[in-house]
Structures are given as structure tokens and as C-alpha cells.
Amino acid sequence: FTTGNPKWKRNQLTYRILNYTPKMTKDDVDQAIQKALSVWANVTPLTFQKVEDKDADIVISFAYRDHQDNSPFDGPNGQLAHAFQPGEGIGGDVHLDEEEEWTKDGRGYNLFIVLAHELGHSLGLSHSNDPGALMYPTYSYTAPSEFLLPQDDIDGIQAIYGQSNTAVQPTGPITPRACDPNLTFDAITTLRGEIIFFKGRYMLRKHPARTETELNFISLFWPKLPSGIQAAYENVERDEVLLFKEDKYWVLRGYDIAPGYPKPIYRLGFPKTVRRVNAAYSDEATGKTYFFVADRYWRYDEKKRSMDHGYPRKIVSDFGKIGRVDAVFIKDGYVYFFHGTTQFQFDPRAKQVVGQMKSISWFNC
Amino acid sequence: FPVTPEAEDERKTLELVESYLQNFYDLQRDHQPHLRSKGENHLAAKLKKMQEFFGLEVTGKPDPDTLEMMKKPRCGVPDVGNYV
């Protein structure tokens, strides 16, 4: 919250667009502004009405360097925009640095994302130190079509203006914390010696030589990848990682998404009855890759690049009672299966589970 | 004597740190030179506040992770104090 808890005294607010940037079409700017306003309108009783040619509570403008508000902009990058807390005159206004590369996608700086953040200030929010929050100070891209207002921001704005009038209260994504004992994963893979844990739009990155775990948005590294990756495995020999979501997969070559992806999973030999892959790992020693789907699994031969005959088989027949597999990876000759907050260590030579840990055992909690 | 590259780097780093803390952590701009030592403690205190906010290791020194965070594009509104 902002010191002094400034807030608008009424819920029906007005906004005015003072000028436009030449870097985007007028329509795209209008759409970005409307979408940014709806982010907050959807979770509060607030409404925003556009006015022209007269003063408004929130005046949105693009400004250059020193623009007479005692807070000059600094040219490309650095400070992207600022906004003022609720109040008369400049209060509530949003200033965007004209020298930034404003866009409606992942290039440069996405106008919608920055505006949604600044409008949080216009309504009385200050910065959050939750790295996944919209009100976190630094810029990070999320595809506008995938954007969901995080729970941290919903909690903040509803503490000021109350809940929305809708019957069902909206909720938002919660930022994973490495040492949360309830943490579960969507997918896990090794990547050139590191271990990458996927969760929603985040990835937790663990390097064996570093004690702390790095939390990043998936889009920070791979803007073309969607959130909610469901399975992933590394083919060490080919220095590739395959990532799966629904009936598609992407290939990461080194650190870049290979061109021409995503492709349908059926290219790998899955029958059309398979709609998604729950988890996967590839055993470099045998050149065999294992795909887990519900209570069954397929085995794929990386050399022949086709599914082995006699599959699918029941997971329980060959891996024991590990239940449904949320995520799996192989490291130093052992296979680690994740089912909820439980992790099973499986020895493929002995063909049995040899250990059971918490899902967060890799994070030095 | 020409400034050695290391000294030049150090000066630029100090400038980056001071300007970031002035913009976002309410570091006062007008330090008197004779209060240099006090100024340094003041700067280290603000630097610790920034490191705490971002969940970085609180060293009070401009270590690589801290400098990397300071170089990220961001909102111009301070992380502490008022912006009116």
C-alpha cells in the first residue's frame, strides 16, 4: 500500500488519453489501455469511463525526458513509466516514456503490461516484492492473452476497494516459493547440468554448484513458450530438450527454441487417443525415452526415432506403486518421479524404488 | 594520469548505485564531501534496503546480483516512500 493509504473516494472513475505514441497504431494503444483498465475493474467494484477534451481522474500520456513533473525520464530502457497515487490534479495520472519501444507483443516493452502496472499506482498500490506480482518493480513480459492478475495484486487492490460484485470471486496465480512444502511441479528436466522445474508461468532453476534456487518467468528465457508446460526431457546426446503441452511439443536446441515448432506429438508415434503427456525422461545409457500418460507409459527409441513395440504398458507393472506421474527427470543414473509433494527415487538397474523424499528436496531448504 | 579502466568502472558503478538509490530508495542527493564516511554508511544502509526488498543477499555492497537487478528496466515509482 502507499503511505497514507490514498484511494479514490468513489468507484466510478474517469480516464483520458492525452496523446498517442507513433510506435503503435491508435487502435492498439486504445486496446492496451482498455485491457489494462479491465485487469483492475474485473477484481474490484471500480468502473472506468473514457472522457475526451476535459479533465479526468486518470490522465494517460506519453512523455519525453523532463516533462515538468520533477521526475524526468531517462531515455530508452531504465525507467519505462511512472504514475501518481490517487488525488487531485496530477494524482492518478500515468506517464509513459515516449522513448521506449512500445509494442503489443513480446518485442520491446508491452504497453498493456506496463500500463496495467502503472494503473495499480494510480489506484493506490505501491510496489510488491513478490517477484510474480504485477506490482513488482521490474518489467517482465507475459503474453497479454495469457495474462492473469496474480493473487498478490488481487489481495492488494481488494484491501483498498473491496471485492468485485461478481458472484464468483476471481483468483489469480500464486508465485511458487522453493521451500513451500506443498510445492508440486508441472514438469522437470535437466538442461546442460542444471535442473529446471516448471510450475505455471514460472521455472525454478537449480544449478548443482549454487545453493540458492533461481525463480524466473518461463517467458524471460523463451517468450515463444507457453506457460503450463506439462512434460519435458533432455536428450543429452543431441543437446536438446523437448517440452510438451497438450498435443504439441517444442524443441530447445541449446538455449533457443528450434524454428518450426511446435509440432504435433503424433509425429513421435503416439496414437490419436493420447491428448497430452504427463511426464517424460530419456535414459542416455540406453537411448530410450519414457513417456508417462495417465496410468500407462510408452517407450521411444531415440536412435530409431520411433516408439518401441509392446507399448503402452502399465506404469505399476514396471515402476511399482508410484501412482500418476506429474513430473520426472533422470540424474546420475537414478530416475526421480514426482507425484504431488512426494518424490520417488527409482533405480532403473534394480528396477525398483530405492528412496522417497519431499518434492522440494533439491532446494536446500 | 589517465584514469585506469578499473577506476573508471568503479566510478560508473558508484554512479549507477547512487542514482538508483536516489530514484527508488530515497537516498538524499546532497551529501556534503566532509560527511563522506557518513555518506558511505548512508548509502550502504539504503543499498541493504534495496537488497532486502528484492530478496538479494543483504551485503550493503554493489555485488553482481545487485548490479544486475539495478540494470533491469522498471517502473519509475520508488520502492519506498511517497511519490506525489
Give the pLDDT of chain A (365 residues) as one tens digit per residue: 777 888 999 999 999 999 999 999 999 999 999 999 999 999 999 999 999 988 999 999 999 999 999 999 999 999 999 999 999 999 999 999 999 999 999 899 999 999 999 999 999 999 999 999 999 999 998 889 989 999 999 999 999 999 998 888 899 999 999 999 999 999 999 999 999 999 999 999 999 888 889 999 898 889 889 999 999 999 999 999 999 999 999 999 978 899 999 999 999 999 999 999 999 999 999 999 999 999 999 999 999 999 999 999 999 999 998 989 999 999 999 999 999 999 999 999 999 999 999 999 999 88
B18 touches chain A (CB under 8 A): no
Q: How many Cβ atoms from other residues are within 10 Å of residue B3's Cβ?
A: 10
Q: Which of A85, A129, A139 sits opposite B54 (nearest CB)?
A: A129
**Interchain CB distance below 8 Å, A129 and B74:** no
**Interchain CB distance below 8 Å, A121 and B23:** no
Single out the catalytic residue among A99, A100, A118, A234: A118
**Interchain CB distance below 8 Å, A80 and B54:** no
Q: Which contiguous run of DSSP H or E holds residue B23?
A: helix B5-24
Q: Is the pLDDT of residue B9 over 50?
A: yes
Are β-strands A94-97 and A58-63 bridged in parallel, bridged antiparallel, or unpaired? parallel
CA distances from A211 to A180, A206, A220, A329, B61 (A): 16, 8, 22, 20, 20
Q: C-alpha dihedral over B78, B82, B83, B84, to 10 degrees?
A: 180
Distance from CA of B1 to the nearest CA of A (A): 32
CA distances from B71 to A51, A173, A239, B44, B65 (A): 37, 27, 31, 18, 10
Chain B residues touching A81 at Cβ < 8 A? 75-76
Helix (H, G, I), strand (E, B) or coil at B57: coil
**Interchain CB distance below 8 Å, A127 and B82:** no
Grid coordinates of A3? 503511505
Tell me, what's the pLDDT at A276? 97
**Interchain CB distance below 8 Å, B55 and A109:** no
Burial of A169 (0-12, 13-18, 19+ CB in 10 A): exposed
Predicted-assembly ipTM surpassing the 0.90 threshold: no
Q: Is the pLDDT of residue B32 over 90?
A: no
Residue whose C-alpha cell is 513451500:
A180
Tell me, what's the pLDDT at A220? 85
B24 touches chain A (CB under 8 A): yes
Half-sphere exposure of A190 (CA within 13 A, CB side): 20
Nearest chain B alpha carbon to A131: B54
Cα B44 from chain centroid? 8
**Rounded distance between C-alpha atoms, residue A274 and residue A307, angstroms:** 14
B82 touches chain A (CB under 8 A): yes
A78 touches chain B (CB under 8 A): yes
Chain B residues touching A64 at Cβ < 8 A? none
Q: Choose among A104, A150, A145, A146: nearest CA to A131.
A: A150
Average pLDDT, chain B: 83
Q: Choose among A91, A96, A124, A131: nearest CA to A111.
A: A96
**Interchain CB distance below 8 Å, A129 and B53:** yes
A87 touches chain B (CB under 8 A): yes
Q: Which of B73, B76, B82 sits opposite A3 (nearest CB)?
A: B82
**Interchain CB distance below 8 Å, B74 and A82:** no
Q: C-alpha dihedral over B6, B8, B14, B16, to 10 degrees?
A: -120
Choosing among B15, B54, B69, B75, which should be mutated to test the A contact, i.e. which has the most A CBs within 10 A?
B75
**Rounded distance between C-alpha atoms, residue A108 and residue B34, angstroms:** 44
Cα B67 from chain centroid? 9
Helix (H, G, I), strand (E, B) or coil at B75: strand
Distance from CA of A259 to the nearest CA of B (A): 28
**A353 phi, psi to nearest 5 deg:** -70, 130
A152 touches chain B (CB under 8 A): no
Grid coordinates of B52? 532486502
Tell me, what's the pLDDT at B30? 65
pLDDT interval class at B40 (50, 70, 90) = low
Tell me, what's the pLDDT at A135? 97
Active site residue A212: no
Tell me, what's the pLDDT at B33? 47
